[in-house]
Structures are given as C-alpha cells and as structure tokens.
Amino acid sequence: MPGFELMGAEEKANLIEIFETSNGVMFPHGFDALRNGRFRVREFEKKFCEKLNIKHAQAVTSGTVAQLVAMHAMGIKPGDEVITQSFTFVATVEAILALGAIPVIVDIDDTYNMDPQALENAITDKTKLIVPVHMLGNPASMDEIMAIAARHKLPVLEDSCEALGATYKGQWAGTISEVGIFSLDFGKTITTGEGGMIITNDDAVFKYAKEYHDHGHESNPAFPRGKDTRSIYGMNYRMNEMQGAVGMAQLEKLDYIVSKNRENKTILKKGIQTDKIQFRRLTDAAGELADTLIFNFENTELTGRFVKAYYEAGYGTKNVPDAIDWHFAGTWNQMFSDVPAYRDSWSTVWAKSAALLNRSVAIPVMVKSTHEDLEKQIAAINRILSAL
C-alpha cells in the first residue's frame, strides 16, 4: 500500500542533511546563506513536475488545503455549485463548504467513482467546477467526464489524493484535466507525514495558488522577503523543509511502490476462487494504482458475515466498511444540517451509492507483503468465502 511502509534510511539521511547543512532553517524561503542555498520544498516540487511531466507543482500542508487553494486559484466563489461524488473522503466536500461554495454530490457507479450520467444530470447554470475523485487508486471515467465538461465549458479538478502513481490511458492521474491535487498524508502512496500538492500546466492558476498559499507573497526576486510584492491576500499553507526532504526520498520510491502494489494485487485477485463476489470495474486495468482490492456481495447479509470472519482471522479493511462514515456522503449529518439542498434529505439522496457501498469490502494491498503472507491471506479469504 503506501509509502509509510518504506519510510527508512533514505528519508532519515535527507532529514539529517538539513541539520548538518542548513543550520536548522526549516522555512521554505529566504535565509539563502544560512541554509547554504538548499531549498528542499522547491526541489521536491521540481522532482514532482519531472515525474508527472507537468509544468507546475505547488506543495502545501495537506490534500484538503490543496483542493481549497486550487479552487481559489480557479476562481470559484461563494455560491458557485461544485459537483463531486458521494463516495470520497469527507475532505473533498469540506473544502467546497469552506470556500462558501455549494457541494452538489452525485452517485457513483460500478467503478466506485463519479457516474458520468449522474454528473450530466446535475449540471445547472450555477455549476462552476467538476471534481471527480480517483477513489482508492482507480481513475474515474475521465473520457466521459472530460467530454461532458467540454460540452458544458466547465473546468475539472481531479482529486487524485488517493491515486498518485495511477495512470489512465497513458496519462498520470491528476494530469488529465486542468488541475490535479494530491494528499501526502500518512496513508497515501507516498507520504510526508502530512502534506499536499497542486499540479497544473496553467500558468495563471499556478501563480494564484503559489501566492495564495503564502499570504500573497509573489516571491519577487528583485526584493528581500520582507519587502516582497503582493497583489492578493492569502493564507499560510506552506510545506516545511523537513516535509520536502522526506518527500524527495519517498518520490524515488514511487515506481517501486506502484509495481509492488500491482504484483501483490494480481496475486491476491488470482488466488480468490469464488463466484460469490463481483470485483470493482476498472477504467484502466493496467494503469490502476492497485493499492486496494474492492469487491461486493449480492447482499448486505453475506457482506457482514464475510467481514466479521475476515476480522476474526486477523485482517483489516480500508474505507469500506470500517470507515464508511468518513467516506460516504449519506452518513454526513454533521455537514448537511445547514446545506439547504440536503438539509432534510441527506441520508436518502444517494440511494444507489448506498446500495453498492453497503455490499462492498475494500482490502488494502501492502507493499511489504511476502508471497507467503499473500498465500496465507488468500487461504483465509477462500476459507471464509466457501463457508458463506
């Protein structure tokens, strides 16, 4: 699964190097002489751009903030409608609400991502942005979503927080639309502990995001930081140098993580012998991140019995069913009591999504699982399935 499994000597060496060469300067700007000219956050952003073949990358403090800053930079204003999906981490909708915009949340389909038809049905005069989420490493149906967006002249922001390293028809997740965002939190493909990244080829979006995340600083080379120029105000969402240093080491491990995910997931999936489950539909089987194996049963009763026995065998699940309360809009009473569109109906609007998610199980694929570990896991799954 994620980069935390491989957090080791390389990350440690990069951190020690800051202490040995930069005199404790953890701030990403200024103090050039004291820090001996090393800027890790900038180096990390540059590496990120090279890896994903994108023009701009802006590091920030979290994936949630990456979305908030990106939406500001894309010109989203209070009252604008932003369409996203019912199955996502709560953060996707929190960022929309934090901006004062209106979340319009549509059902998922058997890809466990945005249903393109539901998206099309939800577009109104007030729609200003579409935010598909590449949930659990499987890119959304981007051909269909981008075609709908083009027809309605709407921009798209990919929430790729859970899909760094996945590709869709040869393009990296996060690079298919105008703007992509990533989370670098503890559970993601690579991690800086907490952190986020905004990527784009759009110069104006990047300029705004760069300034907004740093109190409006233009980082004008003609002035010292204290006299820096500015034309907008912003916030402080700056990543620090320790995170940048860890991120550089983690990024070197990305290809290995993805290839191990794919190898281990293939073994797991091939080993499961049953006709009692349906696997998630993949939009690009060769390109998915493969950090999660998702399947569903015919009914909730079978799902419940499987999950109980699976936990008793010492294994865990991921997002569904264990953390469904944080990943399905139909459980978010804390958010929708003030949102007119959902105030009285939030728990029933996404019936189609609920029907699928309540029958679903998501199993994490671990990078460090050995063949022996996987054989044991497969034996446990098959034993439980055959007893159902």
Ligand X SMILES: Cc1ncc(COP(=O)(O)O)c(C=O)c1O
**CA-based nearest residue to 289, from 136, 181, 77, 160:** 136
Q: C-beta of 319: minimal distance to ligand X in Å?
A: 8
Chain-centroid distance of CA 88 in Å reads 9
60 binds ligand X (CB under 6 A): no
Which of these ranges, 33-41, 60-68, 363-371, 373-381, lies near ligand X under the rule CB under 6 A? 60-68
CA 138 – CA 115 distance, rounded (Å): 14
Q: How far is the CB of 88 from ligand X (least distance, A)?
A: 5
Per CB under 6 A, the list member of 162, 211, 228, 291 interacting with ligand X is 162
Of the listed pieces 23-31, 59-67, 119-127, 202-210, which binds ligand X according to CB under 6 A? 59-67
CA angle 57–61–66, rounded 5-degree value: 55
CB 41 within 8 A of CB 241: yes
Strand partners, 328: 87
165 binds ligand X (CB under 6 A): no
Site for ligand X, residues 175 to 204, rule: CB under 6 A = 183, 185, 196
15: left (phi over 0), alpha (psi -120 to 50) or beta: alpha
- Marked catalytic residue, from 128, 188, 253, 260: 188
Closer of 161 and 349 to ligand X (Cβ) = 161
Q: Which is nearer to ligand X, 60 or 384 (CB)?
A: 60
Q: How far apart are CA 164 and CA 129, in angstroms?
A: 22
Is the Cα dihedral 246, 251, 252, 258 positive or negative?
Answer: positive
Residue among 65 and 385 whose Cβ is closer to ligand X: 65
Segment 140-159, which members bind ligand X (CB under 6 A)?
Answer: 159
Give me the least distance between CB of 171 and ligand X, in Å please: 19
65-104 residues near ligand X, rule: CB under 6 A: 88-89, 91-92
- Least separation in angstroms between residue 239's CB and ligand X is 11
List the structure tokens of 95: 């960022």
Distance of CA 368 to the CA centre of its chain: 21
**Which C-beta is closer to ligand X: that of 133 or that of 361?**
133
Q: In this chain, which residue has its C-beta nearest to ligand X?
A: 63
Half-sphere exposure of 166 (CA within 13 A, CB side): 35
- Least distance in angstroms from the C-beta of 234 to ligand X: 18
How many residues lie near ligand X (CB under 6 A)? 14
Q: Pick from 1, 161, 179, 329: which binds ligand X (CB under 6 A)?
A: 161
| 111 near ligand X (CB under 6 A) | no
Which residues, 241 to 270, sit near ligand X by CB under 6 A?
A: none
* Cβ neighbour number for residue 371 with a 10 Å cutoff: 10
* Residue 187 Cβ vs ligand X, minimum distance, rounded to whole Å: 7
**Is the Cβ of residue 75 or residue 193 nearer to ligand X in the bound state?**
193
Which residues are registered as beta bridge partners of 293?
Answer: 363
The minimum distance between CB 318 and ligand X, in angstroms, equals 11
Does position 63 interact with ligand X (CB under 6 A)? The reply is yes
Closest of 5, 53, 43, 62 to residue 247, by C-alpha: 43
- Give helix 63-73 / helix 203-212 axis angle, nearest 10°: 120
Q: How far is CA 327 from the centre of its chain?
A: 12
Q: Are 253 and 6 in contact (CB under 8 A)?
A: yes
Q: Cβ of residue 185: shortest distance to ligand X, in angstroms? A: 4
Phi, psi of 138 (to 5 degrees): -105, 110
Up-side HSE of residue 322: CA atoms within 13 Å toward CB?
A: 12
Q: Does 62 bind ligand X (CB under 6 A)?
A: yes
Complex with ligand X: residue 35 or 72, whichever CB lies closer: 72
Please provide the distance, in angstroms rounded to a whole number, between the alpha carbons at the two ends of the chain: 28
Q: Is 47 a catalytic residue?
A: no
Q: Give the helix, strand, coil percentages of the chain, each rounded to 5.
A: 40, 15, 45
With respect to ligand X, which residue has the nearer C-beta, 162 or 211?
A: 162
Q: Among residues 14, 58, 64, 240, which is the contact residue for ligand X, using CB under 6 A?
A: 64
Return the number of the residue (158 or 228) whose C-beta is nearest ligand X. Answer: 158
Active site residues: 188
- Site residues for ligand X per CB under 6 A: 62-64, 88-89, 91-92, 133, 159, 161-162, 183, 185, 196
